[in-house]
Chains A and B, each alone.
Chain A
Amino acid sequence: MLRRTTPALIASLCLLASTEASASPLVDLAGPIGGEGGANAVVSGASAASAYFNPALLVDADEDLLVGFAVISQQVGVALDGRDGGDVPDVVAGRDILGPGGQPISNASVPTSWLRNGCPGGTDPGDCPPPGFAARPRQSQGSGQQTRTYLALGIVKHVVPDRFSLGMYAMLPFSGFTTANSFYPDEREALFSNSLHPELYGDRLNALSFVFGGAFKILPTLSLGVGLSLNFTNSAGAATYVRDSTNYDTLLLNDAVKTQLDVAPTAGVRWLPAKWLRIGGTVHAPEHFVVDTTISGTLPSGTESSTSRHDVYDYMPWMVRFGAEADVAKRGLWSMTLDGSVNYAMWSSYLDRHGGSPADYGNDLAWKDTLSVAVGTRQHYGSARAWLDLRYVPSPVPAQVGRSNYVDNDRVGVVAGADVQGTVGQTKLRPGIALFIDRLLPRHVTKDDARIVDELPDGAIYGSTHDPVQGAKGLQTNNPGWPGFGSRGWFWGATVTLSVPL
């Protein structure tokens, strides 16, 4: 059996390593597919998924092949408050405005009317140069409602029975292996989608996810495990020759793309201090998927310039999980356990998709570390198992009263599932089903105008006449989150699994 499964394991690793992968956001959000881990997988439900949630459990898992199908949906509604004035006037389009000290104002400002209605390309008064400026109504390109399907694969192999085990666990999205969408969390996003996006869902749910783990039982009551999540670091260089900045069809461009493999380790421990009590703990190292892009441009004048961008996707912070499971009742074929776990996540180190820290917007807007809790029970009757967990996952995102618009909510949810072992012919199979549903608790924030970028500063003057710009007094902003916004929603998933002994 070892001869058959080890090459399969390696083949799977090679196959999955051939594209971008980042294990944690998807796996962490979806929870274990297969097994009875539920929301307490750090201590319960040894299975292939334990390679991520606590690799030390692998040594106790059944030696089998797991195939699962999952549907996961995020339904996060973002509600933007109506604007009471604050429009950036059309005069900024003329680029004829200086700040009160004669400094140029930001080129990132466009008239609010352009965002609402667009600007036609043409030669009539008020037209923009062809092809014009496309309308970007507020929140018209929100990304909070998505449903995706996944294939889950897992293998557990006891290389040295009851001593040393290996496991592999993967989730493969059916619709594209990896999506990485960046967006600015402040007024700059008005130039792109002009919308707010849930920060910790969206593209984070569309990543090929792969974890490899090993467990060692060093004492009858103590097991240690190590898991490795694959991460890829990409660097892309684009050397351009700009023949005509108004016609990018004439752009000459050479690419240079490089992808490097990186791994993020997980260390796990399982301890049995008593026959009726099991303790588990893990430490997850941070993970992220990096794209470094260097763009260098050469102009007909011979002027050369370049810039680099450091984008970070799927960031997962240091996490420490701890859980306990206790047998509390047993009668005949029936038994019951109670489970509880906590997860301390150091979200204060979070880096957003543009590699920025939320603390850049102010110390009070820095993300907070969070402590999640889950409690539940497992019921066994013969070869049938059922589990039910309740969980609370606080949001690391403070009230977004300033420039930034990170959208996230506290979650409360329930995880339930069941499986049963049966025999078909000579083969033992364990089909299972599981559901989870989380409520994203409603929240709303009203912006502090004093902390919003005034895109047309008070005292602005026309460069051509040095006259004051009418209407410059007060706040003018295209920050899509101004003057406030709310969010709420649901996050749910359903899985069916089948485990086949090796």
Chain B
Amino acid sequence: MPKARPLAALVLAAALAPSACAHDTVGVDTGAEAVCGNGKLEPGEECDVDSPGCVQCAVVPDWTCSTSTCAPICGDGVIASSADCSDAHRDSACDLTGYWAARETDYTRDSILGSIQTSSTWYLYHFVQTGDDFVIDQDIECGVHVTGSAVVDSTPGTLRGLIYQNRMDAQSPHGARHGTSRPASDGCAVRLDRWYRVRGATQAYLPADFTRRPPLTALTPLPSVDNPVTSTDFPAGATDEDGDGIPGVAFAITGFVNGIRNAAQRDWKEFATPAGQSVPAAGLELAIQGAFDLQENVLRVTACGGACALIASPANSASATYPGRLTLAFVGKTLGSDRVSRVVAGKPRDSLDADLTTCANVRLVLPHDGSVPSSPSQ
């Protein structure tokens, strides 16, 4: 037995030997770059504040920011979101004549998880009002941004391809889009007529007469393919406004799934203040309740890895329970004035580059609001 002791001692010593004769170590981090969103103003950042006046750590035009808060600059005639500028004004209580930044907020229900998606579509409008009636005199479409279970954006090509589509001015084959704005009990009752739009397919898929207000289901079905995951078809009637060589307009999807969805879409929207309600007279930012319907045929999905089947699932309107709204922010009346020039870079449709700049400004004036009403019909 004595012979066993050295062996046992050796094994025991080995088993109990310090297990830390080699350590993991991490060197000291140096030169960390500014981190946008951490609430600290760091080199290279104009601001780092949770405020609509601070977007991506850059101060939104016509806002001013400190290290803790941002506020709109009043008195220069430019209307910023949430602005409370006593000296900004419109000519008359319910006359909407002038340039307006517009954001349409719609709610859809994705067909994957059934969750509500919040969509913003931006426009620049120039209204001309006579009496209680107004028409859209100039317009450009400034793209879409959707949040929810996934994030959807128009690609740069789609933004360029759609900016002049579905025009609503007098040059439209359907005539100019009309609306009314008339005095109501304690403000103005505003209505904007139903308008149909199509993307990724020819204008032939729109109704001939918008005033007849046909449901989308009564129209000629949109171009479609059997399987957007495997299809290489370019179905008749489809268009390629974004110029990517694939039928339909392209939307980039990120978040729950990633990929590019090319689709043909058709929708209608109309807006009106509900009976008995009104928007503030001479208001600088107006919110008008809306309704809409949407059809979408997915024509191709790409860059989707293993999630192509999910990307290929279209969204459906949730308008019946989650009404949309049109938010209008008054930009000014006269093109070329200091006030208007800060948003509108040039006369709409004269220069694509200028209009893209205008669109970027419009999206800053009315940033995307991804909130979802806590309960339907709120």
Binding site for B on A (CB under 8 A): 69, 71, 73, 75-87, 89-91, 93-98, 101-107, 111, 113, 125-126, 137-139, 142, 144-147, 149, 195, 244-245, 299-301, 303-305, 307, 431, 433, 435, 461-467, 469-471, 488-490, 492-496
Contact check: which of B29, B44, B112, B255 meets A470 at CB < 8 Å?
Answer: B44
Which residues of chain A have C-beta atoms less than 8 A from B4's C-beta? 431
Contact check: which of B10, B26, B364 meets A139 at CB < 8 Å?
Answer: B26
13 contacts between A and B (CB under 8 A): A78-B24, A93-B37, A101-B156, A102-B250, A104-B258, A107-B255, A126-B39, A244-B113, A301-B114, A431-B7, A464-B145, A470-B57, A494-B10
Which residues of chain B have C-beta atoms less than 8 A from A467's C-beta? 55-56, 360
**Shortest CB distance A298–B (Å):** 11
Q: Are A471 and B34 in contact (CB under 8 A)?
A: yes
Q: Are A91 and B360 in contact (CB under 8 A)?
A: no
Q: Are B24 and A301 in contact (CB under 8 A)?
A: no
Closest to A126 in B: B37
Q: Are A75 and B21 in contact (CB under 8 A)?
A: yes
**Shortest CB distance A285–B (Å):** 33
Which residues of chain B have C-beta atoms less than 8 A from A464's C-beta? 120, 145, 153, 363, 367-368
How many Å lie between the Cα of A149 and that of B12 in the bound state? 11
Which residues of chain A have C-beta atoms less than 8 A from B112's C-beta? 299, 301, 303
Which residues of chain B have C-beta atoms less than 8 A from A488's C-beta? 22
Which residues of chain B have C-beta atoms less than 8 A from A149's C-beta? 15
Q: Are A470 and B309 in contact (CB under 8 A)?
A: no
**Shortest CB distance A429–B (Å):** 11
Q: Which of B35, B159, B260 has the most chain A CB within a 10 Å cutoff?
A: B35
Q: Are B156 and A102 in contact (CB under 8 A)?
A: yes
How many Å lie between the Cα of A125 and that of B48 in the bound state? 12
Q: Are A98 and B153 in contact (CB under 8 A)?
A: yes
Q: Are A303 and B21 in contact (CB under 8 A)?
A: no
Q: Are A77 and B145 in contact (CB under 8 A)?
A: no
How many Å lie between the Cα of A493 and that of B14 in the bound state? 8
Q: Are B153 and A71 in contact (CB under 8 A)?
A: no
Q: Are B31 and A84 in contact (CB under 8 A)?
A: yes
Known: A245-B149, A305-B310, A465-B360. 7 other contacts (CB 8 A): A75-B20, A84-B29, A96-B145, A101-B156, A138-B26, A301-B114, A463-B145
B143-199, CB < 8 A from A: 143, 145, 147, 149, 151-153, 155-159
A490 and B21 in contact, given A104-B260, A113-B35 (Cβ under 8 angstroms): yes
Contact check: which of B27, B45, B50, B155 meets A79 at CB < 8 Å?
Answer: B27
Which residues of chain A have C-beta atoms less than 8 A from B37's C-beta? 89-91, 93, 126
Counting CB contacts under 8 A, is B252 at the interface? yes
Per-residue A-contact encoding for B182-221, CB less than 8 Å = 1, 0 else: 0000000000000000000000000000000000000000
Counting CB contacts under 8 A, is B92 at the interface? no
Counting CB contacts under 8 A, is B253 at the interface? yes
A71 and B143 in contact, given A104-B303, A107-B258, A490-B22 (Cβ under 8 angstroms): no
Which residues of chain A have C-beta atoms less than 8 A from B152's C-beta? 463
A90 and B29 in contact, given A95-B255, A463-B254 (Cβ under 8 angstroms): no
Which residues of chain A have C-beta atoms less than 8 A from B250's C-beta? 102
Closest to B12 in A: A71
A142 and B50 in contact, given A299-B112, A304-B309 (Cβ under 8 angstroms): no
**Shortest CB distance B310–A (Å):** 6
**Shortest CB distance A105–B (Å):** 7
How many Å lie between the Cα of A21 and that of B201 in the bound state? 60
A85 and B33 in contact, given A463-B254, A467-B360 (Cβ under 8 angstroms): yes
How many Å lie between the Cα of A290 and that of B42 in the bound state? 50
How many Å lie between the Cα of A101 and that of B307 in the bound state? 20
Q: Are B310 and A303 in contact (CB under 8 A)?
A: yes
How many Å lie between the Cα of A417 and that of B50 in the bound state? 69
Which residues of chain A have C-beta atoms less than 8 A from B3's C-beta? 431
Contact check: which of A101, A105, A125, A462 meets B50 at CB < 8 Å?
Answer: A125
Q: Are B252 and A463 in contact (CB under 8 A)?
A: yes
Q: Are B32 and A83 in contact (CB under 8 A)?
A: yes
**Shortest CB distance B30–A (Å):** 5
How many Å lie between the Cα of A495 and that of B158 in the bound state? 70
Q: Are B256 and A245 in contact (CB under 8 A)?
A: yes
Q: Are A103 and B252 in contact (CB under 8 A)?
A: yes
Q: Which of B25, B149, B255 has the most chain A CB within a 10 Å cutoff?
A: B25
Contact check: which of B33, B113, B147, B156 meets A299 at CB < 8 Å?
Answer: B113
Which residues of chain B have C-beta atoms less than 8 A from A111's C-beta? 35
Counting CB contacts under 8 A, is B17 at the interface? yes
How many Å lie between the Cα of A469 and that of B36 in the bound state? 10
How many Å lie between the Cα of A299 and that of B31 in the bound state? 45
Q: Are B309 and A305 in contact (CB under 8 A)?
A: yes
Which residues of chain B have C-beta atoms less than 8 A from A195's C-beta? 24
How many Å lie between the Cα of A2 and that of B111 in the bound state? 70
Counting CB contacts under 8 A, is B28 at the interface? yes
Which residues of chain A have C-beta atoms less than 8 A from B8's C-beta? 496
Contact check: which of B28, B36, B253, B256 meets A89 at CB < 8 Å?
Answer: B36
Closest to B27 in A: A82
**Shortest CB distance B106–A (Å):** 15
Which residues of chain A have C-beta atoms less than 8 A from B23's C-beta? 77, 145
Per-residue A-contact encoding for B227-268, CB less than 8 Å = 1, 0 else: 000000000000000000000001011111011100000000
Contact check: which of B120, B258, B309 meets A106 at CB < 8 Å?
Answer: B258
How many Å lie between the Cα of A462 and that of B21 in the bound state? 48
Q: Are B364 and A104 in contact (CB under 8 A)?
A: no
Which residues of chain B have C-beta atoms less than 8 A from A462's C-beta? 56
Which residues of chain B have C-beta atoms less than 8 A from A301's C-beta? 111-114, 313
**Shortest CB distance A473–B (Å):** 10
How many Å lie between the Cα of A73 and that of B114 in the bound state? 52
Counting CB contacts under 8 A, is B375 at the interface? no
Counting CB contacts under 8 A, is B281 at the interface? no
**Complex A-B, nearest 4 residue pairs according to Cβ-Cβ distance, in ascending order:** A82-B27, A463-B153, A102-B155, A77-B22
How many Å lie between the Cα of A125 and that of B310 in the bound state? 30
**Shortest CB distance A148–B (Å):** 10
Q: Are B306 and A90 in contact (CB under 8 A)?
A: no
Closest to A69 in B: B11
Closest to A82 in B: B27
How many Å lie between the Cα of A95 and that of B147 in the bound state? 9
How many Å lie between the Cα of A262 and that of B209 in the bound state? 72
How many Å lie between the Cα of A9 and that of B159 in the bound state? 74
Counting CB contacts under 8 A, is B354 at the interface? no
Which residues of chain A have C-beta atoms less than 8 A from B360's C-beta? 465-467
Closest to B302 in A: A103
Which residues of chain A have C-beta atoms less than 8 A from B378's C-beta? none
**Shortest CB distance A123–B (Å):** 12
Closest to A469 in B: B56
Counting CB contacts under 8 A, is B58 at the interface? yes
Counting CB contacts under 8 A, is B86 at the interface? no
Which residues of chain B have C-beta atoms less than 8 A from A96's C-beta? 145, 147, 151, 153, 254
